[in-house]
Amino acid sequence: MAIDGVYSPRELRTVLRHPRDLFEVGRQCVDAAWLGPLGRRRRDTSVVAAEIARQGVSIVPGAVSDDLISQARSDLDEFARQLPTLTGKQRLRSRSTGGSIEYEVHQRQSDQRILRSHDPLAVIPSYLRFLLLPELCSVAASYLGPRWGYQAMIATRTLAGSIDDRSGFSGWHHDARGRKLNVFLLLTDVEPGGTTTVLLRRSHRLLFAERRRMRNFFPEGEVAMVVDAYGFDEYEVAAPAGSLVFFDAHALHRGRRSPHMRDAFQVNLMTRREHWWPHEITRSGFETLEEPERDDLLRRSNLTVID
């Protein structure tokens, strides 16, 4: 074991010497059991899902049309203009480490130079097209199984910043929710060394004791120990606009800032309903969908239709 409370699947016998870790590690083993057949490439498994199972990440370039990229960026421009009138709305959601937390639905994080909506279906019309992309839904079903759902919906404009910024999610962490698939649609080109997500490939198979699930940020020294112990390598998600990025958020990862702005749509996917955040969608947007699409969207989310 590289550090206290962190195990690899090859070290499960070690857990027996730490009885207090058995329940939490056992639950994560059950979560990870779906990855076994994926690694062996079942016939109904997508190539993308199989790559996520092996590496923890997969990128699909050219996943959307230029029209969607243009519309999405225009919608983010409009969101930025309207943000002063949207700020202040608060909502409760489950906390990844237990209990609940109040958060601002539409926010301008001035210290981190980030504009973000946690309810994009209510204010960003093109987000719905992203959410229902066939490739996204297909990979979700292959990787998480038929009970997958939309855990959190997010649209973000990350303004230019310092590459030395270590605030917020710039520190190494896992998402503390067990098996979880995060999906980004990049709306701007992300060059190597740019504003991007960096993760340790294959670290999605690590298992964490409860104390490391509750304290899910890792200092640089611990990350170096994990890398040395298990041979993980850093991978930066650099890709052109229009790429879909899939990564297992159980892996250790961090956001990296740079002097370049990044626009992105994001959705996080899980099977555990107790973790699904509440969201709203305008009735006008909802009624653009066919009835089967409406039913499926409501079934896979904690969603309220608003006038």
Distance CA 247, CA 249 (A): 6
Q: Please tell me what DSSP assigns to residue 277.
A: P
pLDDT bin (cut points 50, 70, 90) of residue 37 is low
Taking residues 189-218, report their average pLDDT: 94
Judge whether residue 43 has pLDDT over 60. no
Q: What is the pLDDT of residue 45?
A: 59
Q: Helices marked H in the chain — which ranges?
A: 12-15, 22-32, 35-39, 47-55, 66-86, 120-123, 127-131, 134-144, 210-214, 220-230, 283-286, 291-299
Alpha-carbon distance values, 252 to 121, 183, 289 (Å): 29, 15, 37
Q: What is the pLDDT of residue 117?
A: 97
Q: Is residue 30 packed enough to be buried (19+ CB in 10 Å), middle (13-18) or exposed (0-12)?
A: exposed
Decide: 175 and 216 in contact? Cβ < 8 Å.
yes
Question: In which residue are the tokens 């740079």 written?
Answer: 258
pLDDT bin (cut points 50, 70, 90) of residue 44 is low
Q: Which residues contact 192 (CB under 8 A, 6 or more apart)?
A: 236, 238
Judge whether residue 179 has pLDDT over 60. yes
- Tell me what percent of the residues of the chain surpass a pLDDT of 70: 93
Which one has a higher pLDDT value, 83 or 162?
83
Q: What is the pLDDT of residue 168?
A: 61
Distance CA 286, CA 284 (A): 6
Type of residue numbered 225? M
Judge whether residue 76 has pLDDT over 80. yes
Q: What is the pLDDT of residue 164?
A: 60
pLDDT bin (cut points 50, 70, 90) of residue 103 is very high
Decide: 195 and 158 in contact? Cβ < 8 Å.
yes
Decide: 254 and 165 in contact? Cβ < 8 Å.
no
Q: What is the pLDDT of residue 163?
A: 65
Distance CA 157, CA 18 (A): 44
Q: What is the pLDDT of residue 83?
A: 95
pTM beyond 0.75: yes
pLDDT, the chain, mean: 91
pLDDT bin (cut points 50, 70, 90) of residue 189 is very high
